[in-house]
Chains A and B, each alone.
Chain A
Amino acid sequence: MTEASKGISYIRLIRTYGTVMAGLLIVLAFSLLSPDSFATVGNAINISRQISFLVIIALGATLVMAVGEFDLSVGAMASMGGVFAAKLAVAGYPMVVVVLLPMLAAMAVGYINGWIVTRFKVLSFITTLAMGTIIGGINFKITGGATVFENIPESFLVLGQTELGDIPLLSIIMLFMTVLFWYIMSHTAFGRKLYAIGGNESASRVAGVRVAFNKNAAFALCGMLAAITGILMASRLGSAHPNGGDGLFLNAYAAAFLGMTSFKEGVPNVWGTFVGAAIIGILANGMTILAVPTFMQDVITGCIVIAAVLMQKMGRGTA
């Protein structure tokens, strides 16, 4: 009988920390393959900067997934945040406006996403897919299809390019956001309600949780996080492309799904998402150092996401 219980806890350990362990194995592998370039403090800092965009946008995806919905417009909203902020900066608005206005705009779009989903009971998948298309069109209209880069003031570059000592401000913002949303999701009544809705919407409604209000809030926050990502990217690059953030969208969900396989089994969670994004970022970084062609990088990253999810399913099957 002790054998059996040991077996079960072993499986549970793998299910809970398997993804983290896999991440550590990946780090170990790259460190052995490329001790001089990969396994350095400088590169670790570099990775933390590279994953900051993905982590922040994936936090938004995690929030919406926690209430059992999807927001497929996050990529377009990130692009919008970048383009909108860059335009405002070029037009000479003060930095507060440059940062806050796009965030509020994206919150509004997110709220509309939520409102359509909750008010008319439309699948969020479809609603946000269409919203992404709309936003994408608007992005092109605003920019005329061109990258915004001329006359961007120095002040706009502060967020993305400042380093405090050796640590990029971007990495600090990312960590701050992760801790903030971890706190919100696991230590506030709001976070509890989001998880309750995701767990059983109908029972939450009976328990007096205002389902629509809280879902809308999750969508709005998701929009805000996407816009922040876009603003930071534009600030880092010193330019904003009308679909510059679109590429983050799939990776954001890959990170969130990887995250669901860690810590809280089968539930979207903030630290899980962080680990997921880190794994994706570390893979990209390490493979670039090893000069793996881009197409192979995509193939390998995809395979690892599938493997992680499969591993968890298999763990469940034997229990």
Chain B
Amino acid sequence: MSLLRVDGLSKIFGQHYALSEVSLDILPGEVHALVGENGAGKSTFIKIVTGVYSPDGGTLRWKGQPVQINTPGDARQIGINVVHQDRHLIPSFTGYENLYLGLSYPKGKLGVGVQWKEMKQRAKALMDTYGVTLNMNKTAQRMSPPEKTMLEILRAMMQECSLLILDEPTASLTDQESEQLFDLIGKLTAAGTSILYVSHRMDEIFRLSDRITVFRNGRHVATVNRQDTDRDGLISLMNDKEYKKAHREERDIRAGEPVLEVRGLHSEDGKVNGVDLQVRQREVVGIFGLAGAGRTELLETVYGLRRKSAGEIVLQGRTQTSTSPRRSLDQGVVLIPEERKRDALVMDMAIRENITLPFLSRFSSGWKMRKRAELQESERWMTDLKVKAAGTEQPVGQLSGGNQQKVVFAKALLSSPKLFLCDEPTQAVDIMTRDEIHRLLRHQADEGCAVLFVSSDLQEVLDIADRLYVLHEGRIVVELPNKDVTPEQVLAYCFSQGKDRVHT
């Protein structure tokens, strides 16, 4: 008997079917992957199952019984929990406090004092059950991304939880960190919990799942057993068009003048600790490093968001006396930030307003914004990048993740950049958008731009980079031309560095 059975589920937004007669069943103890491009209806499905949205049609059966899930509370009550890609932890609370969020604290005899001892025992029992080691006295803001994910999963398991929905759980984890998560998933399913696993990462899906369901444009396309399909088969189900496998294209690199030269760069907070690198015209340079290596910090220091304490940044031959985002933009340097929601877009503002924000002066004739010019330019970029939206005036927050990222790129391209600083530019976007972004960056490089590309997805770095640097603890440990480099070799550099440090 299935744990959750969904029949003919529909959800309409305005005139548009976000979900159309979707049927799906989840068996006890299985890892069920849910895949589809951005906008395929995965998020809507999750929100209905967890009681955030109410469906416009269809039925839900839970353990064989018809059920109505009207609020997130209802969902938790019957045992459905979700861990989102955006974490829902209170930064200043400790692990224990976060664990008990939304639950009543165990109280003393008088019903007043909190029984911390009991809380801790219960947390420890829970961690023992699933073989997790976490310092629960740490506040959430001091935890690393995988620790936070573990904590959220533990919190879900505090109550009877039969179905755990993981929405892009590895989006901000490195490969090595993801391993810890996969271990935990194994233990959860062994204990009988079902997992609905939403991810864009094919290797994870094939590694973890028992069955895979594909959504496309709000419809259920297929549910297949893992062993009956492969990566290409799955991708062709997700997409109407015949999907061309992404692989490394040997580019004809006639690297030109250096666009960016960095010498002995240190950031004030010490996260960047003596970096030397160079990026030249027509080059795509990758930076790979494990979490905490200082990838984001390096880009931010070059861009001028983070203060540098020592070292030299030379842009197109000009040594920078001081750095700021404004100066960088004016010299043709753009940053694609890692955290789209936090650093890249003003969610309540229209697509047009977001695209033109870095160069408002270009659309302002003295005292007046030239709205027509703004409109034309934004429309042009939206068409160019195939942004799916109702129009230039739609608030960015209403777009799907992939389309939001396209707006971020439109905004960057508007400044006719010379140097792209890309920080995880394909994080949490669907595989088609990811390819589009890769193509776009390659095309920009062909046109004479320089691209510095950071990703925690090693395969992605190897796919796109002409040359790559390995970063470790704020330093470049090795520079490799990307010829016949294997992931194992790169990882070896990362890990061997770690060991060196232990010895010294």
Contacts and interface: CB of A to CB of B under 8 A. Distances in A.
Contacts of B411: 207
Given A196-B346, A200-B347, A5 B14 contact: yes
A208 B325 contact: yes
Interface string A178-200: 00000000011100110110011
A145 B363 CA distance: 51
Contacts of A192: 353, 357, 360, 369
B305 interface: yes
A206 B342 CA distance: 10
A188 B325 contact: no
A189 B346 contact: no
A145 B57 CA distance: 70
A270 to B, nearest CB: 15
A299 interface: no
A8 to B, nearest CB: 7
B368 interface: yes
Contacts of B344: 203, 206
A208 B346 contact: no
Interface in B296-340: 303, 305, 325-326, 328-330, 335, 337
Nearest to A264: B348
Interface in B343-371: 343-349, 353, 357-358, 360-361, 363-364, 367-369
A203 B343 contact: yes
Given A192-B353, A208-B329, A203 B346 contact: yes
A200 B369 contact: no
A189 B369 contact: yes
B342 A187 contact: no
B14 A196 contact: no
B190 interface: no
A121 B303 CA distance: 22
Contacts of A187: 367-369
A305 B278 CA distance: 59
B364 A188 contact: yes
A5 B348 CA distance: 22
A313 interface: no
A24 B367 CA distance: 34
A106 interface: no
A266 B397 CA distance: 15
Nearest to B346: A199
A74 interface: no
A196 B342 contact: no
Contact of B337 (A1, A204, A206): A206
Contacts of A204: 346, 357
Contacts of A207: 325, 329, 357-358, 411
Contacts, number: 73
A1 B15 contact: yes
A258 interface: no
Contact of B12 (A4, A196, A205, A267): A4
A203 B348 contact: no
> Interface on chain A toward B: helix, strand, loop, or mixed SS?
helix
A202 interface: yes
Contacts of B326: 208, 210
Nearest to A191: B369
Contacts of B342: 200, 202-203
A199 B15 contact: no
Contacts of A208: 325-326, 328-330, 358
A206 B367 CA distance: 24
A206 B360 contact: no
Contacts of A189: 360-361, 363-364, 369
Contact of B343 (A4, A195, A202): A202
A8 B16 CA distance: 14
B355 to A, nearest CB: 10
A26 interface: no
Contacts of B357: 192-193, 196, 204, 207, 209
A8 B13 CA distance: 10
Interface in A269-291: none
Contacts of B369: 187-189, 192
B13 to A, nearest CB: 9
Interface string A204-245: 111111100000000000000000000000000000000000
A200 B341 CA distance: 9
Contacts of A210: 326
A196 B337 contact: no
A205 B329 CA distance: 11
Contacts of B347: 199-200
A15 to B, nearest CB: 14
Counting chain A CB atoms within 10 Å of each CB, which of B335, B337, B361, B367 scores highest?
Answer: B367
Given A193-B360, A196-B357, A207-B358, A188 B346 contact: no
Contacts of A193: 357, 360
B327 to A, nearest CB: 8
Given A187-B369, A188-B369, A267-B348, A205 B353 contact: no
Interface in A96-149: none
Contacts of B15: 1, 5
A182 to B, nearest CB: 13
Contacts of A5: 14-15
Contacts of A1: 12, 15
A202 B342 CA distance: 6
A206 B368 contact: no
A1 B57 CA distance: 13
Counting chain B CB atoms within 10 Å of each CB, which of A1, A5, A189, A207 scores highest?
Answer: A207
A53 B81 CA distance: 53
A5 B425 CA distance: 36
Contacts of A200: 342, 345-347
A191 B460 CA distance: 40
A210 B326 CA distance: 7
B353 A203 contact: no
Contacts of B330: 208
Interface string A238-261: 000000000000000000000000
Interface in A24-50: none
A1 B303 CA distance: 49
A206 B343 contact: yes
Contacts of B368: 187-188
A210 B337 CA distance: 18
A267 B364 CA distance: 23
Contacts of B360: 189, 192-193
A249 to B, nearest CB: 27
| 10 A-B pairs with the lowest CB-CB distances in the bound complex, closest first | A199-B346, A189-B360, A189-B364, A208-B329, A200-B346, A208-B326, A207-B358, A207-B357, A208-B325, A208-B358
9 contacts: A1-B12, A188-B369, A189-B361, A189-B369, A192-B357, A199-B346, A200-B346, A206-B305, A206-B337
Interface of A: 1, 4-5, 8, 187-189, 192-193, 195-196, 199-200, 202-210, 266-267
Given A189-B369, A192-B369, A193-B360, 15 more contacts: A188-B368, A188-B369, A189-B363, A192-B353, A199-B349, A200-B346, A200-B347, A204-B346, A205-B305, A206-B337, A206-B344, A207-B325, A207-B329, A208-B330, A209-B358
Interface of B: 12, 14-15, 303, 305, 325-326, 328-330, 335, 337, 342-349, 353, 357-358, 360-361, 363-364, 367-369, 411
